[in-house]
Structure 1
Amino acid sequence: MSVQQRRKYDPDFKRNAVLLSEEPGKAVTEIADNLGISRDLLYRWRREYRARENYSFSGNGRESLTPQEQKVRDLEKRLRDAEMERDILKKAMAIFSRTPK
């Protein structure tokens, strides 16, 4: 029993494969066979490219974000941190404002 190793493709290869597949007169199956990849993989790359164009194929499971998406993500993190600090301060205030028995 042999274990197949997962193949990795660089973003330029993926982008070029997608652009080739979108040319008129070429079948996706034919292009996939010529490139040595599966037809389903090429269709998946096409979906990703259509959804995110310049931000597609970031690699290593990392999502490429537009500058606006990155800003939103940073602001959400700052908000979570501020809410956590507020909650800690509320608990501390409750502890220190108790009257001793």
Structure 2
Amino acid sequence: MSDINIRVLLYKLNKTWKSFNSTRARPQVYIFLTSPNPIQERILLDRGITPIVSKDPDPQKGTIAFFGTLFEQTSRIGEGSKKREFHIEGTIEG
């Protein structure tokens, strides 16, 4: 685990989880990874975190595709309710 951000996330998550009396009471946790890393994925799974790995080799395009899919899927949950909007700032060069 060389990424300091993931290490901080794991530390804070573990600290929060200590407040639960049971591992079954913990909510499901997911993390999006922009590139595959089997070792990192295994460590996350062992700690109860489900990694979602981008299939796109370009991190920016993969992230945008992930959020687009996430928006699509969650929009279906509340169909018929309030109109939802999704905006991604930035551009894709290429």
TM-score, with length taken from structure 1: 0.26
Larger radius of gyration: 1
> Where is the helix percentage greater, Structure 1 or Structure 2?
1
TM-score, with length taken from structure 2: 0.27
> Where is the strand percentage greater, Structure 1 or Structure 2?
2
